[in-house]
Structure 1
C-alpha cells in the first residue's frame, strides 16, 4: 500500500513538473516569436499594452505609405524619465537628402503638448544608417525579452518599396543595439535640449538624477 502511494505521489509530482516545463517552454516560444523581425507593419494586440502604446506613437508619424517607398519609423517608450519619442526618416527618389521628423511627447500630466522637430540627413549618411539597420534587423529570429519589467520598449518599421519589416522588444541586446544606433543619428542630425540624456532613450532632468 505504501509503495503504491509513493508511486502515485511520484506520478503526480512528475505530471506537475512536466506541465510547468511545457507551459514555460510555450511561453518562451511566444516571447521569441513576438520579438522577432516580422515581414509586416507593427500590429496592435488587445492583450499587449506595449504594442497598443507603440501603435499610438507610430500614428503620430507620417504613414508608411507616405515615406516614398524608402524610410523607417521608430518609437522609444522609456519606462522612466520625462519623455517618449517617435521618429520617421525617408528618402524620395533622386533627392539629395533624406527628410526626418522627431516627435517628443512629454509624459507629465501637466504638459501633454508634443514637440515636433524636422531635420535632414545627407543622402550618404542616410544610406549608411539604413544599411546598418537592415543588417541588424533583417531576418532576426527573436530572443528572450525576460526578465524585464521596465527598460525602454522599442518598435521600428522599415519600408523598401513594397517590402515592410518591423520589430518590437525591450531588454534583449538586439533592441539595445537598435536603440543606440538610432539615437546616435538623432543626436547628430536633430540635436536639441529635449533629447534623451541616457543611451537607452531615458531622459532625466538634473533634479531627477
Structure 2
C-alpha cells in the first residue's frame, strides 16, 4: 500500500513538472510572437506606403522637425503629376535640408530649403533645375529602389533621417527612416543629381553631412 501511495506522489510530481514545462513553452511562444509582431510593425513603418508621409511623422519622435521642413516646400498638389519631396536630417550634421522637384517640359525644376540645426526659423531657399535626362535618370533610379523595398525590421540609431514622398501619375507613395539599405541610397541619389547645379551644397558629402565628418567619404556628386 505504501508503495502505491509513493507512486501516486511521483505521478503528481510528473504532472506538475509537465504543467510547468508547458507554461514555460507558452511563455516563450508569447515572447517570440510579441517580438515578431514588433519587428513586422517596424518593417511596415519603414516601408513605402500609399499617401503622404506627414500622418506617420506626426506620431514619430522628432517627426515635427521633418514636418516643418516639408512645410517649406510646395504642396504635393503643386508637384503632381510627377515629382518628389525629400527631407534629410543628418544626425552629426549642422544643417537640415528639404528638397522638392517636379517634371517640366524642360526637365525638372524645384527648390532646396536649408536651415541650421540650431535655429528652426533661419531658412534659406533657392531654386534648382535639372535637365530632362538627369531628372528622368533620377526618378527612374528612385522608382526602381522603391519598388523592391519592403521595409526593415531593425532600428538604426544614427545616420541621416529621411522623409521621402514620390508623386507618379498623380499617385503619392511615401516613406521615412534612416536605413542604409534604402533611405541612405535615396538621399545619395538625390544629392548627386542636384549637386552639380547647386553650389550651396559644395561643403557637404552625399550623405548630407558636412565634409570632414566621419560619416562618409567626400565625393564630387558626379
> Could you say which TM-score interval applies, normalised by the shorter chain?
0.7 to 0.9
2:141 to 132, 155, 165: 132
Q: Which runs of 5+ in 2 are unaligned?
A: 1-11, 214-222
The match for 1:71 is 83
Secondary structure class of the residue paired with 2:182:
helix
In structure 2, the CA distance between the partners of 1:57 and 1:27, relative to structure 1 (3 Å rule), is same
Cα shift at 1:63: 0.5
Distance 1:117 1:195 in 2: 16
Superposed CA RMSD in Å reads: 2.3
Q: Is residue 2:23 matched to residue 1:12?
A: yes
Judge conservation of contact 2:128–2:194 (CA < 8 Å) in 1. Answer: no
Q: TM-score, normalised by structure 2?
A: 0.80
Secondary structure class of the residue paired with 2:90:
coil
Judge conservation of contact 1:81–1:204 (CA < 8 Å) in 2. Answer: no
Q: How many residues align?
A: 201
The match for 1:58 is 70
Cα deviation digits, residues 17-65 of structure 1 (max 9, x gap): 1111011111111111112221222142453225443322211100011
The match for 1:189 is 197
The match for 1:34 is 45
Cα deviation digits, residues 164-199 of structure 1 (max 9, x gap): 1212121240222112111111322212257533x3
Distance 2:26 2:53 in 1: 38
Judge conservation of contact 1:44–1:55 (CA < 8 Å) in 2. Answer: no
**Residues 100-179 of structure 1: pairs in structure 2 closer than 5 A:** 100-109=110-119, 112-138=121-147, 140-144=149-153, 146-179=154-187
Cα shift at 1:85: 0.8
In structure 2, the CA distance between the partners of 1:175 and 1:193, relative to structure 1 (3 Å rule), is closer
In structure 2, the CA distance between the partners of 1:180 and 1:91, relative to structure 1 (3 Å rule), is same
Q: TM-score, normalised by structure 1?
A: 0.84
